[in-house]
A and B are shown apart, each in its own frame.
Chain A
Amino acid sequence: MNRLHLLLCQLLVAVVIVGLWQLFSTVPIFGRMILPPFFFSNPVDVGAQIVAWFVAGTIWKHLAITLWESILAFVIGSLGGVLFGFWFARQPRIAAIFDPYVKMANALPRVVLAPIFTLWLGLGIWSKVALGVTLVFFIVFFNVYQGVKEVSGTVLANGRMLGMNERQLMRHVYWPSALSWMFSSLHTSVGFAVVGAVVGEYLGSAAGLGYLIQQAEGVFDVAGVFAGMFVLSAFVILIDIGVTLVERRLLVWRPDAAGSRI
């Protein structure tokens, strides 16, 4: 299957779903609507809502805020994850002491933290960033921890025999290895940064995509909810494409990530 063919098939799926949605929500079948418009709206209305947002320009402010929250959550969470991942992997005793607490904290559903963050950090962006950080941190933490732990013994011994001291081993062996593990989880952690931001907005805020969806829901504007969801999906896909580009550049040395390049 070549690229064009694949793209056509993918488009076909969208067309069929949207077509059925439009059909069942506007044309009565055997005298009743299969998808009542009040609950399901219809694609034309949803599209009109999206266009209206972009024409009026109000959507940009919300997008920018969600993007900014996601970036902050990703950066802070990743930094923390890398630092602690490294520290724990190099100090097995520390890792052993904190192990049950790390597991407990990671097992906690983050949504329950949202009210606490709102109390502590207010309704502004920082409570959303904090929520995203708690999600991103653990993904990066576990991956960096694994990456440092799983450095090949031979490569490490080679570094030592070539004369590397601890600091140089860190820079030339542990760091690149940990980084490659971190990047392999990049798609997941970026996705979770967005989830943290949007969920935080949804639970209480004055701006952002989550706020937009929540507002629409508050007035039973189903078209608005769907429109918000579609904009959010498109937003996440764009970010994901960006991540893929970064990954291709940074992980050229990896056989699987390099993919088609030889």
Chain B
Amino acid sequence: MQAGTAATPWAVELDDATVAFHLADARVYTAVEQANLAVKDGEFVAIVGPTGCGKSTLLNIAAGLLRPAGGAVRIFGQPLTGLNRDAGYLFQAEALFPWKTAIENIAIGLEIAGVRQADARQRAEGWLASVGLGAFGNRYPHMLSGGQRKRIGLAQVLIRNPKILLMDEPFGPLDAQTRQIMGNLLLELWSADRKAVLFVTHDLEEAIALADRVVIMSAGPQARIIGDWRVPLARPRDIFEIRLEKEFHALHREIWSVLKDEVMKGYVQSSQVAGAAP
């Protein structure tokens, strides 16, 4: 698939991207092998796979935090060198600056880009309200709950208005109800100006409920992309309700029949070779 450089519809393209790590004993661990994935501008793509299959690795390649050992990465048609400046990244682990208050955490992305502090703060106030934490601006991260911290993280990323949103199991550590609330919040904010989204999760239901496309990865090592489904559910969606729909169940059953084997493989492998994955 050769996209023109000028008006490419692809926000993110991974061509045969391969990721390998050198282990301590000089062996090479191939985490992801020849992954091909293309995300259209404005498209919400979820990557689902068993634990340790290299989903996050794929995301780090798209972010430019990791160099692929082979293959190419293109962002809006341009080969990616260095960090992906068009992308906002929501991490799985705690990524807020603990020494900054909620409002400072949100405003920082603008301040370092040269926006005047007063303006940056004012826009940050707006985002604070958008994620429903208007009254919590002066709290430090440790004074907020896990879900509140994720909201701040979301605002921190979105305030820079990135063209691509990379999300690495962002709601993984949250409880089930909070995850659904966060999912709805994400869809609400995303639908305002549809960015390209690459959303990594191990939760198939979450993936179907949120995404336009669901991509399945095989169990690692040498994980590959083994399936790609379009989600035919209408938007706007309410992810509390959507789980009850017939189409949702049909698609879930279909994808799960493929994913199940990989999950079992992944489980067996991870219980056999402890410490092989980096």
Identify the A interface with B (CB < 8 A).
152, 154-155, 157-165, 168, 172-173, 176-177, 180, 252-255, 258, 262
Are A160 and B83 neighbours in the complex by a CB distance under 8 Å? yes
For this complex, 11 residue pairs linking A to B, each with C-beta atoms less than 8 Å apart, are A152-B93, A154-B91, A154-B95, A155-B95, A157-B91, A163-B112, A163-B113, A163-B160, A172-B97, A176-B97, A176-B99
Within 8 A of A (CB), among B94-117: 94-101, 108-109, 112-113
* Nearest chain B residue, comparing its CB with the CB of A158: B95
Partner of A164, one of B88, B99, B112: B112
The CA-CA distance from A73 to B91 in the complex, in Å, is 43
Report chain A residues within 8 Å CB of B141.
Answer: 253
Are A172 and B112 neighbours in the complex by a CB distance under 8 Å? yes
Total cross-chain contacts (CB, 8 A): 67
Partner of A157, one of B65, B140, B143, B157: B65
Are A253 and B89 neighbours in the complex by a CB distance under 8 Å? no
The CA-CA distance from A247 to B109 in the complex, in Å, is 28
The CA-CA distance from A254 to B109 in the complex, in Å, is 22
Partner of B89, one of A155, A158, A164, A252: A158
Report chain A residues within 8 Å CB of B157.
Answer: 162
Report chain A residues within 8 Å CB of B96.
Answer: 155, 158
Report chain A residues within 8 Å CB of B94.
Answer: 152, 154-155
The CA-CA distance from A77 to B65 in the complex, in Å, is 37
Known: A154-B93, A258-B142. 15 other contacts (CB 8 A): A152-B95, A155-B96, A160-B65, A161-B63, A162-B109, A163-B112, A165-B112, A172-B97, A172-B100, A173-B97, A176-B99, A253-B140, A253-B142, A254-B98, A254-B142
* Nearest chain A residue, comparing its CB with the CB of B85: A163
Report chain B residues within 8 Å CB of A155.
Answer: 94-98
Q: Does B87 have its Cβ within 8 Å of any Cβ on chain A?
A: yes
Are B98 and A161 neighbours in the complex by a CB distance under 8 Å? no
